[in-house]
């Protein structure tokens, strides 16, 4: 495989898509040697085929705000790869959504879903609609308008969306209602649903829980333990919330969370009702973390900064792509950070990852560390198919087993000669093998 040639062609074919190129490059660079050793993948042109999404849908979403003003937004669904199961992946409502971010997320999702070993292909959807400050009525009308078009392309055996940034259980409910109204079917077409009508226990916490289960694997691989570790999280959404809950339970100390406005440093630890308060903050839809310091005056709000300047043992980015750059990585390492668990999708820039790895700090890539969310979506799909609900413990046990298995696979394919575990390489190779073999077995279909 001629890596340079593939990357040059990729750049030519996808001008002005830096995120997609960043995500694809990371995979290509880490699987190149493996492909050279296994010529069947070249014979079947698997890399070229994986780099091209199977379908990209873009549509117009028109809606009316509370003042009667008419707005036009864009909706997307990238159906990246169906070899392993129906397309599966979240819906993001955020002003940064465009075809580039949708493509990178769908590409990452395909590898991530492969890693879970559950029968799910990869897709991603969303809209450049910004939920900040929007009323409940506006959110409902937006979700309805969005689903009126999206429903043409999805279904429980075709494509099963879920939430992501800006889309929580409430929005999933609004979208599900509209799907049902148009199609007259009560089916498992979305995950992240409420418990009363087909949702799964643990799904809201799953991304955060899974990430901490993965961290436990990273710690164990270094004969280290989680007890007493100082942790900085970014974000204050569902993912950071789940991580904070699990970290507290396991005896670590979360000292920071963040928002687009800055970060909160709470030396007393973000525990108990303060963790519950994160959800209240999110529910306000104001998209600011500063009110935490008003409610808990012992905490400090640091405006306009990221929590990566703090002295912590573990850094867990839980917000959005490229939120941790090379300068942040240098600051973390200089302050003695030992573990970086990327829990947002592509939360770290390529040069940040290279630097962290060069310093022999343990680094988990998002597609491995955050796979617990979609894995639990997969478990929700299974429960929907069986028309029953599992107990909390059963879902949690399955989630733990999936995260342990992903960690084992990273060790298997990512352990280097000097003993350093390259989790990026391990995750990419393990995800690639299952996907690529399925594509070969299914013939030249896509």
Residue 427 is a binding residue for ligand 2IT (CB under 6 A): no
Q: Which is nearer to ligand 2IT, 17 or 110 (CB)?
A: 110
Report the residue from 81, 110, 145, 377 that binds ligand 2IT according to the rule CB under 6 A.
377
Report the residue from 47, 374, 379, 406 that binds ligand 2IT according to the rule CB under 6 A.
374
- The Cβ of residue 131 has, within 10 Å, a number of other Cβ atoms equal to 19
Q: Which is nearer to ligand 2IT, 167 or 232 (CB)?
A: 167
In sequence order, what DSSP letters do the residues of 207-236 get, joined into one string? HHHHHHHHHHHHHHHTT---TT-EEEE---
The CB-of-195 to ligand 2IT minimum distance in angstroms stands at 16
Binding mask 291-330 for ligand 2IT (x = CB under 6 A): ----------------------------------------
With CB under 6 A as the contact rule, which of the stretches 25-33, 51-59, 85-93, 148-156 interacts with ligand 2IT?
85-93
Residue nearest to ligand 2IT (CB): 90
The CB-of-419 to ligand 2IT minimum distance in angstroms stands at 30
The CB-of-113 to ligand 2IT minimum distance in angstroms stands at 8
Say how far apart CA 238 and CA 281 lie, in whole Å: 11
Q: Where are any strands of DSSP class E within 143-229?
A: 159-162
Residue 243 is a binding residue for ligand 2IT (CB under 6 A): no
Residue 234 is a binding residue for ligand 2IT (CB under 6 A): no
Q: Which is nearer to ligand 2IT, 313 or 342 (CB)?
A: 342
Q: Which long-range contacts (CB under 8 A, 24 or more apart) does 379-385 make?
A: 379/118, 379/200, 380/188, 380/191, 380/192, 380/193, 380/198, 380/199, 380/200, 380/203, 381/88, 381/120, 381/156, 381/160, 381/188, 381/191, 383/198, 383/200, 384/156, 384/187, 384/188, 384/198, 385/188
Binding-site residue total for ligand 2IT (CB under 6 A)?
12
- The Cβ of residue 404 has, within 10 Å, a number of other Cβ atoms equal to 15
With CB under 6 A as the contact rule, which of the stretches 7-15, 86-94, 267-275, 415-423 interacts with ligand 2IT?
86-94
* Residue spans of alpha helices (H) in 284-363: 291-295, 326-334, 350-358
Say how far apart CA 439 and CA 446 lie, in whole Å: 8
Q: What is the dihedral of CA 99, 104, 110, 112, to 10 degrees?
A: -140
Q: Which is nearer to ligand 2IT, 192 or 259 (CB)?
A: 192
With CB under 6 A as the contact rule, which of the stretches 151-159, 368-376, 388-396, 427-435 interacts with ligand 2IT?
368-376
With CB under 6 A as the contact rule, which of the stretches 50-58, 295-303, 309-317, 371-379 interacts with ligand 2IT?
371-379
Residue 162 is a binding residue for ligand 2IT (CB under 6 A): yes
Q: Which is nearer to ligand 2IT, 281 or 320 (CB)?
A: 320
Residue 422 is a binding residue for ligand 2IT (CB under 6 A): no
Residue 345 is a binding residue for ligand 2IT (CB under 6 A): yes
Report the residue from 77, 80, 88, 94 that binds ligand 2IT according to the rule CB under 6 A.
88
Q: Which is nearer to ligand 2IT, 87 or 292 (CB)?
A: 87
Polymer length of the chain: 446
With CB under 6 A as the contact rule, which of the stretches 213-221, 313-321, 370-378, 429-437 interacts with ligand 2IT?
370-378
Site for ligand 2IT, residues 89 to 128, rule: CB under 6 A: 89-90, 109
Say how far apart CA 174 and CA 425 lie, in whole Å: 39
- Tell me the backbone φ, ψ of residue 308, rounded to 5 degrees: -75, -5
Q: Can you read off the two tokens belonging to residue 373? A: 């969310």
- Tell me the backbone φ, ψ of residue 222, rounded to 5 degrees: -110, 20
Say how far apart CA 148 and CA 5 lie, in whole Å: 42
Q: Out of 88, 103, 112, 124, which one is annotated catalytic?
A: 124
The CA-atom distances, in angstroms, between 48 and each of 9, 31, 213, 231 are 10, 13, 34, 40
With CB under 6 A as the contact rule, which of the stretches 4-12, 32-40, 84-92, 218-226 interacts with ligand 2IT?
84-92
Say how far apart CA 159 and CA 392 lie, in whole Å: 26
User: Please, which residues bridge with residue 56 across strands?
Assistant: 78
Is 311 among the catalytic positions? no
For residue 129, what is the DSSP state?
Answer: -
Angle at 235 between CA 75 and CA 81, to 5 degrees: 40
Please identify every residue annotated as catalytic.
Answer: 124
Which residues here bind ligand 2IT, judged by CB under 6 A? Answer: 88-90, 109, 162, 164, 191, 345, 370, 373-374, 377
């Amino acid at each position: 495989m001629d890596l340079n040639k593939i990357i040059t062609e990729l750049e030519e074919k996808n001008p002005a898509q830096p995120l997609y190129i960043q995500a694809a490059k990371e995979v290509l660079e880490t699987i190149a040697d493996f492909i050279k050793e296994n010529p069947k993948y070249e014979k079947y042109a698997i890399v070229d085929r994986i780099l091209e999404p199977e379908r990209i849908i873009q549509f117009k979403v028109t809606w009316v705000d509370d003042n009667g003003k008419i707005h036009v937004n864009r909706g997307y669904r990238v159906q990246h790869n169906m070899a392993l199961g129906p397309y599966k992946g979240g819906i993001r409502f955020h002003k940064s959504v465009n075809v580039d971010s949708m493509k990178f997320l769908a590409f990452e999702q395909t590898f991530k879903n492969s890693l879970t070993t559950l029968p799910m292909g990869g897709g991603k959807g969303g809209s450049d609609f910004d939920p900040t400050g929007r009323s409940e009525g506006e959110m409902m009308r937006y979700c309805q308008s969005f689903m009126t078009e999206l429903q043409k392309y999805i279904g429980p055996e075709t494509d099963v969306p879920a939430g992501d940034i800006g889309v929580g259980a409430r929005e999933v409910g609004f979208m599900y209602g509209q799907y049902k109204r148009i199609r007259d079917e009560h089916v498992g077409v979305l995950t992240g649903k409420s418990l009363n009508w087909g949702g799964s226990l643990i799904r809201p916490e799953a991304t955060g829980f899974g990430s901490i289960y993965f961290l436990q694997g990273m710690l164990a691989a270094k004969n280290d333990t989680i007890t007493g570790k100082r942790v900085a999280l970014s974000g204050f959404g569902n993912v950071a919330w789940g991580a904070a809950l699990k970290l507290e339970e396991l005896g670590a100390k979360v000292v920071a969370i963040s928002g687009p406005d800055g970060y909160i440093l709470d030396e007393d630890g973000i525990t108990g009702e303060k963790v519950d308060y994160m959800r209240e903050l999110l529910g306000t839809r104001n998209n600011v973390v500063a009110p935490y310091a008003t409610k808990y005056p012992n905490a400090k709000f640091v405006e306009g900064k990221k929590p990566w300047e703090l002295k912590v043992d573990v850094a867990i980015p839980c917000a959005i792509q490229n939120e941790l750059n090379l300068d942040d990585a240098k600051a973390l390492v200089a302050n003695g950070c030992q573990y970086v668990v990327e829990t947002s999708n592509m939360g770290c820039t390529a040069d940040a990852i290279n630097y962290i790895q060069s310093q022999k700090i343990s680094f988990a890539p998002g597609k491995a560390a955050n796979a617990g969310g979609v894995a639990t979506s997969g478990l929700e799909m299974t429960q929907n198919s069986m028309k029953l609900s599992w107990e909390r413990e059963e879902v949690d046990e399955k989630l733990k087993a999936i995260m342990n298995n992903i960690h084992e696979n990273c060790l298997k394919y990512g352990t280097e000669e000097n003993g350093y575990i390259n989790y990026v390489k391990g995750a990419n190779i393990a995800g690639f093998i299952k996907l690529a073999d399925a594509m070969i077995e299914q013939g030249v279909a896509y």
